[in-house]
Amino acid sequence: MKGPVITPDQIKPMLETPFLRVADIQYAEGRHYYTATRRPVGELTAVRPETEFLRMAPDAATCIVILRTPDCEPRLLLTREYRYPAGRFLLSPPAGLIDPADLEEEQPALSTALREIQEETGISARPVRLELVSPLLFSTPGITDESNALVLAVYDLPDLSQLSQKGAVGTECFDGFRLLTRPEAAEVLRRGRDEEGHFFSVYTWAALTWFVSGLWESA
- Say what the pTM is: 0.94
Give bridge partners of residue 174 from the DSSP assignment: 81
**pLDDT recorded at residue 218:** 79
Domain CATH number, residue 185: 3.90.79.10
Under 8 Å between Cβ of 185 and 212: yes
What would the pLDDT profile of 1-59 be if each residue is shown by its tens digit? 678 889 999 999 999 998 899 999 998 888 999 999 999 988 899 999 999 999 999 99
Question: Are 200 and 100 members of one domain?
Answer: yes
C-alpha distances (whole Å) from 30 to each of 6, 21, 24, 33, 103 are: 14, 22, 11, 10, 38
User: Is the domain of 70 the same as that of 24?
Assistant: no
Contact (CB, 8 A) for 61 and 151 = yes
Q: Encode pLDDT of 83-100 as tens digits.
A: 999 999 999 999 999 999
Question: In the sheet where 31-37 sits, what is the strand order?
Answer: 11-16, 21-28, 31-37
At 219, is the pLDDT very low, low, confident or very high (cuts 50, 70, 90)?
Answer: low
Domain span at residue 46 reads: 8-53
* Contact by Cβ (8 Å): 66, 74: yes
**Mean pLDDT (whole number) for 145-154:** 97
- Beta-carbon neighbour count of residue 110 at 10 Å? 20
Same domain for 76 and 114: yes
Q: Please indicate, yes or no, whether residues 33 and 115 belong to a single structural domain of this protein.
A: no
- pLDDT per residue over 94-128, tens digit each? 999 999 999 999 999 999 999 999 999 999 999 99
81 domain-assigned: yes
Question: How many structural domains does the chain have?
Answer: 2
User: How far apart, in whole angstroms, are the C-alpha atoms of residue 215 and residue 108?
Assistant: 23
